[in-house]
A and B are shown apart, each in its own frame.
Chain A
Amino acid sequence: MMLTLDHIAKRFGGVQAVSDVTFAVARGEIVALIGPNGAGKTTLFSLIAGFLAPDAGAIRFEDRDVTGLPPHRIAALGLVRTFQTAQPFERLTVAQNIAVGAHLHLASRGAALRRGAEIAERVGLGKWLHRPSRELTVAGRKRLELGRALATEPHLVLLDEVMAGLNPTEIDAIVPTIFAIRDSGITVLLTEHVMRAVMRLSDRVLVLNNGRLIAQGKPADVATDPAVIEAYLGRGVAPPAARELARG
């Protein structure tokens, strides 16, 4: 197994953000983690990537216990996350941003910058190579997040809403990029509110609600699961997503 979560729990003061979550991701899969706002998706990513320590449970990555390891150690093992709100290195150029990721395995500055240029091309930022990253649009920043993560040569990437804030054209453009990532041998776990993309992209869907895993399975099956529809409608927080979901 690529990634295994075993009874993971996390509480913030009075909020049980994640409770008793158990699932596994196999090598080569694209798995979508969905759920209404505040369901605990980002928290779960932070737990997996080592930014938070779980209150209970264990996380295994490629048959290694990574629970409680610091983020940079986990990244070095080949598990890299992106951030829901893009976090560029604002004073660095696009190439330099991506090179930071490439440096994980490349000591040479020249080699890392060349890698940065290559990957910028791959995620569609070729034209922006020498622009400061703070000049990027939201869509550009999302691509940068993706590019930097890929530059570390991960085995598993956690993509936190790489499509949020993008327009439909931009979303259609990023879908093939994600398929290409999987085809290059990288396993993908992503969170997404854009159901159309989830349905097209994912092999499997996990549904989180109030920190609990309430359903999992093929996209089409999950979409018709009454518990899932109830979770979305009951919250009344994401009706468009729920409508899409119900339509399948």
Chain B
Amino acid sequence: MVEAAIIVPAILNGLTTGAVYALVALGLTLIYGVLHIINFAHGALLMVALYGVYFLYALAGIDPYLALPIMIPAMFALGYLLQRYVIGRAGHGKDENVMLVTLGLSIVIENLALYLWSSDTRTIETAYGFATVDLGVALIAVPKAVAFVGALAITAVLWALMRWTDLGKAIRALARERRGAQLVGIDVEHLYAVSFGIGIACLGAAACLLLPSYYASPHIGSAFVLIAFTIVVLGGMGSFIGALVGGLIIGVTESLGGLFLGESLGKIGVFLIFIAVLLFRPTGLFGQRV
């Protein structure tokens, strides 16, 4: 029997990681829900965001959490431009092409990072990096606790944005029906790019929350991209609540997998869930809506 003393912290750790995963997946699911494309460059763009946070800290001394108001608009702009001027144009509106264009982008971005910044792993040292909070049942690292709360808060803000603002309503209308949106005079291309931008802005936020307990390196994105896909598929493509619940489930699965099967084999659980969901329940746990 494994002691509760080991399992409880593993679950808590899994939940904190899962909340950040959820934030990453939220961007992916939003993009899928509105544009119906699978963004294979999502992981690469997260990597870019992590470097952004790293350089803000290393060169300008800006604390990762204070970088949030810089990274969110910066990543939004990057996403907007990519969709408006690259993905939207090169894809010719065909699913397979869009898929390949985002794959091509991810290859370019990852290897450009490798070329510019080498394959070194970059970490930052903050005053609170090794501090812990005592939750009674377990100790938890401060950066992870902040990431958990921060990711949930940002998710809530995004949810409110989609729910109650005119922009959110327009995006949801567009997600339901492109034709109809065009008819009521919505600038569809602009709104697509805005949606993509919001999806990528999620990555800017995730990077700020991640870096204090994580690192930046050129190939870091691929570790996230499959996990984010898994979450999105598990939660249901395009589902908000699905991404959140899916993220938490996957975070805990990974953490417990690592505990019982070891660091390397532990990751397999996530992918087996992925394959099983794709095969047996491709609509995921929460169906399809935005």
Direct contact of A and B (CB under 8 A): no
